Amino acid sequence: MVTRTIAGIAAVVMAAAPLLAGQAGPGRGSASSFYDLKTTTLDGKPADLSQYRGMVSLVVNVASYCGYTPQYEGLEALHRELKAKGFNVLGFPSNDFGEQEPGTAKDIATFCRLTYDVTFPMFEKVVTRPGARQSPVYAFLGRSGNLPGWNFSKYVVDRQGNVVAFFPSDVTPDDPRLRGAILRSLSAR
Residue among 57, 150, 166, 66 at smallest CA distance from 108: 66
Give CA–CA dist 129/148, Å, rounded: 8
Per-residue burial over 31-51, b if 16 or more Cβ lie within 10 Å, else e, is bebbbbbebeebeeeebebee
Could you tell me whether strands 154-157 and 56-62 are parallel, antiparallel, or unpaired per DSSP bridges?
A: antiparallel
Using only C-alpha atoms, what is the Rg of the chain?
18
Could you tell me which of 22, 46, 27, 28 has the C-alpha nearest to residue 37?
A: 27
Task: Please say if 66 is a catalytic residue.
Answer: yes
Give the whole-angstrom CA distance, residue 20 versus residue 61: 24
Number of Cβ within 10 Å of residue 96's Cβ equals 21
User: Catalytic one among 42, 55, 58, 66?
Assistant: 66
Active site residue ranges: 66
